[in-house]
Amino acid sequence: MLSAASALLRRDLRLALRRPGESLLGIVFFVLALSLFPLGVGASPEILARIGAGVIWVLALLAVLLGLERLWQSDHEDGSLELLLLAAAPLELLVVAKCLAHWLTSGLILAAASPLLALLMGLPGEALWALPAALLLGTPTLTLLGAIGAALLLGSRRGSVLAALLVLPLYIPVLIFGVSAVDGYVMGLGGRPQLLILAAMLLAALALAPFAIAAALRLAAE
């Protein structure tokens, strides 16, 4: 059972490594979109430091959303999704392996790149570790919730715009606590409770989302 999941994880990681452009595109979007903000709102350091955490979180949300399309789409097209459904291992476990592989090539990179972005936005020193910590706890939840939306939309007529409508409302709690955790550390109030709530949301999503994703995938294969 676990060997099937780890084989799937290795396959997805290998596929992502063979085509590094796709996962790196998310980072390019992240940095490029961020560089628009100093141009748009003016480059005064106080404003950038004040809105920095929120802007980086919103962009992380959108970067995860953009990457969701490749989570199920190619497997759905070439038929490997049907093999996953027929496999002896429970689909819910395989779904977790797929989401983990996707997160390692998207959310983890975003979190790793975030201290650099925090420097670009002139955030204070505390943000350099608080921001990646919050993103490490938050982005897996984003991937799991987004995987539900992406799986529901398999085979629909209008894909990615609708994905934003379905998924972004579910992302709002993660955004609220993610930003307030970083802001808490930046303002010297501490953000431990918010980080714990982010961790709780991750655990709840990890426990419940695989069932919704698996149901949606079974529906798509009917």
Partner 1 sequence: MARADAADGGALHRYANPLRFQRIADAVYPWVLGATAALAPIGLWWALVVAPADYQQGDAYRIIFVHVPAAWMALFTYLVLAVAAAVGLIWRHPLAEVAARAAAPIGACFTAIALLTGSIWGKPMWGTWWEWDARLTSVLILFFLYLGYIALHDAFDDVARGARAAAILAIVGVVNLPIIKFSVDWWNTLHQPATVMRLDGPRIDPAMLWPLLLMALVYKLYFVAVLLLRMRAELTGRRIANLRAAQGA
The two structure tokens encoding residue 46: 């106080």
Q: Which is nearer to partner 1, 125 or 169 (CB)?
A: 169
CB of 99 to partner 1, least distance (A): 15
Measured distance CA(168)–CA(211) in Å, rounded:
20
Q: Which is nearer to partner 1, 192 or 218 (CB)?
A: 218
Least separation in angstroms between CB 79 and partner 1 = 19
CB atoms within 10 A of CB 190: 13
CB of 167 to partner 1, least distance (A): 9
The DSSP result for 10-38, as a single string, is HHHHHHHHHSHHHHHHHHHHHHHHHHHHH
Nearer to partner 1, 128 or 168 (CB): 168
**Nearest Cα to Cα of residue 128 among 188, 53, 189:** 53
State the alpha helices, DSSP H only, in the chain.
2-18, 20-41, 45-67, 69-78, 80-86, 91-104, 107-120, 127-152, 160-186, 192-221
Measured from the CB atom, the residue of 96 and 117 that comes closer to partner 1 is: 96
**Shortest Cβ distance from residue 35 to partner 1 (Å)?**
27
**Residues forming the site for partner 1 (CB under 8 A):** 148-149, 152-153, 155-158, 162, 165-166, 168-170, 172-173, 212, 215-216, 219, 222
CA dist 128 and 116 (Å) reads 8
Q: Report, in Å, the least distance between residue 28 CB and partner 1.
A: 29
Token pair listed for 141: 């939840």
Q: Which is nearer to partner 1, 27 or 175 (CB)?
A: 175
